């Protein structure tokens, strides 16, 4: 059984010795239990290194990896901690004690210092967005996607803080170009719920955003969103984008109505969220011949759907890189 011991110097200020978030983060990264990681302090904090080592051995550890949570290899790292480990190795010759290097210089330390500096400088919305994009592009590989697809996926990840969308997003080959053409032609955007309408950027284009949900009363059969989509597609003649981010039944109804249309002058954005019919409705959407954007996941919802529509609006009317505006 392997255990990990993180050794800190310790501070007389009690709050400065609370490094439990480090244990949680490290356990998550290493995919191990938090119980297999302990903190110890050279001074001012509890437990001491000796106390922590005894505790780990009593828990059955056969190997203990000791990491000095220090920036440089000073006396504590090169003499004090090794001498304690040497004593324990002598007392417990059948146990294995592994001593790692301190933090030392790492390129990510420079990034952390940069972040700490920027935290004290008031950033504009544009600067915050650019920083977010930098982080996204640094942490994931989007090289397999087209330039326009990258714009949309980055916007969805930015809105949801969920990198899974990189692997789950699906684009009909004509969806983005057709959506841009429809928006530039002044076609309307139909949505399933008011929250999506509220989130769509009004600064670009003059496209009307339509939601019929408030006009539908609760009845026995079918959902209100399903009936709202049906009524809108019947009454409105200028709809170009159908953006559904919450209701799987609304998406299924839209597909039912649109799949037999001879004219393919529309794009369906299907991002419903949930456990019942959400994924199934998206898979069904992906089997259609008309243009669509969706994702193969239970995840989705208003933020993801709004991000896609706003990205398309920026691609249609914006200048250069897409800029976010809720």
Q: How many whole angstroms separate alpha carbon 274 and alpha carbon 297?
A: 9
CATH superfamily, with its number, for domain 146-317 = Cobalamin biosynthesis CobH/CbiC, precorrin-8X methylmutase (3.40.50.10230)
Q: How many whole angstroms separate alpha carbon 157 and alpha carbon 311?
A: 12
Q: Which of 10-14, 25-29, 92-96 has the highest mean pLDDT?
A: 92-96
pLDDT, tens digit (0-9, with 9 covering 90-100), for 198-237: 999 888 778 999 999 988 877 767 789 999 999 999 999 9
pLDDT, tens digit (0-9, with 9 covering 90-100), for 114-138: 778 777 776 666 667 777 777 787 7
Q: How many whole angstroms separate alpha carbon 237 and alpha carbon 285?
A: 22
Classified as helix, coil or strand, 99 is strand
Please report the pLDDT score of residue 124 as a whole number.
65
**pLDDT value at 53 more than 80:** yes
106 catalytic residue (yes or no): no
**pLDDT value at 185 more than 60:** yes
Query: Where, residue-wise, is CATH 3.40.50.10230 in the chain?
Result: 146-317
pLDDT, tens digit (0-9, with 9 covering 90-100), for 140-150: 888 889 999 99
DSSP codes, 236-284: -S-EEEEEESS-HHHHHHHHHHHTT-S----EEEE---SSSSHHHHHHH
* Active-site residue identified among 67, 158, 172, 314: 158
Q: With cut-offs at 50, 70 and 90, classify the pLDDT of residue 164.
A: very high
Which helix (H) or strand (E) is 152 found in, with range? helix 147-160
Query: Where, residue-wise, is CATH 3.40.50.1400 in the chain?
Result: 2-99
Q: With cut-offs at 50, 70 and 90, classify the pLDDT of residue 323.
A: very low
Tokens of 267: 């794009």
Which helix (H) or strand (E) is 30 found in, with range? helix 20-30
Average per-residue pLDDT for the chain: 89
**pLDDT value at 101 more than 50:** yes
Q: Euclidean distance between the first and final Cα of the chain, in Å?
A: 50
Classified as helix, coil or strand, 294 is strand
Spell 238-266 as b/e; 16+ CB within 10 A means b.
ebbbbbbbbbbbbbbbbbeebeeeeeeeb
Please report the pLDDT score of residue 3 as a whole number.
93
DSSP codes, 57-89: HHTT-SEEEEEE--SS--HIIIIIHHHHHHHHH
Cα separation values, 253 from 116, 212, 228, 281, 289, Å: 50, 14, 10, 10, 16
Please report the pLDDT score of residue 143 as a whole number.
86
Average pLDDT, stretch 32-43? Answer: 92
Please report the pLDDT score of residue 5 as a whole number.
95
**pLDDT value at 21 more than 90:** no
Q: What is the CATH number of domain 2-99?
A: 3.40.50.1400
Handedness of CA 89, 93, 95, 97 (dihedral sign): positive
pLDDT over 90, % of the chain: 67
Q: Is 68 exposed, middle or buried (0-12, 13-18, 19+ CB in 10 A)?
A: buried
């Amino acid at each position: 059984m392997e255990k990990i011991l993180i050794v800190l110097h310790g501070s007389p200020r009690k709050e400065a010795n609370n490094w439990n978030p480090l244990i949680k983060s490290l356990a998550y990264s290493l995919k191990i239990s938090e119980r297999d990681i302990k903190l110890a302090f050279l001074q001012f904090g509890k437990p001491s290194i000796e106390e922590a080592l005894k505790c780990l051995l009593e828990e059955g550890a056969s190997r203990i990896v000791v990491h000095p949570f220090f920036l440089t290899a000073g006396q504590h790292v090169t003499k004090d901690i090794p001498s304690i480990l040497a004593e324990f190795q002598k007392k417990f010759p059948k146990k294995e004690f592994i001593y790692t290097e301190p933090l030392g210089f790492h390129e990510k330390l420079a990034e952390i210092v940069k972040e700490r500096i920027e935290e004290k400088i008031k950033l504009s919305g544009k600067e915050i967005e650019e920083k977010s994009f930098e982080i996204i592009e640094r942490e994931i590989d989007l090289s397999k996607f087209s330039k326009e697809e990258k714009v949309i996926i980055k916007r969805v990840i930015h809105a949801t803080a969920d990198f899974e969308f990189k692997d789950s997003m699906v684009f009909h080959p004509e969806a983005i170009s057709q959506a841009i053409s429809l928006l530039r032609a002044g076609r309307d955007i139909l949505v399933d719920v008011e929250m999506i309408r509220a989130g769509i950027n009004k600064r670009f284009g003059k496209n009307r955003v339509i939601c019929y949900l408030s006009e539908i009363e609760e009845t026995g059969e079918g959902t209100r969103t399903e009936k709202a989509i049906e009524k809108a597609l019947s009454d409105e003649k200028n709809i170009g984008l159908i953006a559904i981010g919450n209701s799987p039944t609304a998406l299924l109804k839209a597909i039912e109505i649109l799949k037999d249309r001879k004219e393919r002058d529309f794009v369906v954005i299907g991002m419903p969220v949930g456990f019942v019919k959400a994924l199934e409705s998206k898979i069904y959407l992906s089997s259609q011949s008309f243009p669509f954007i969706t994702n193969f996941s239970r995840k989705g919802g208003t933020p993801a759907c709004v991000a896609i529509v706003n990205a398309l609006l920026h691609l249609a009317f914006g200048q250069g890189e897409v800029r976010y505006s809720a």
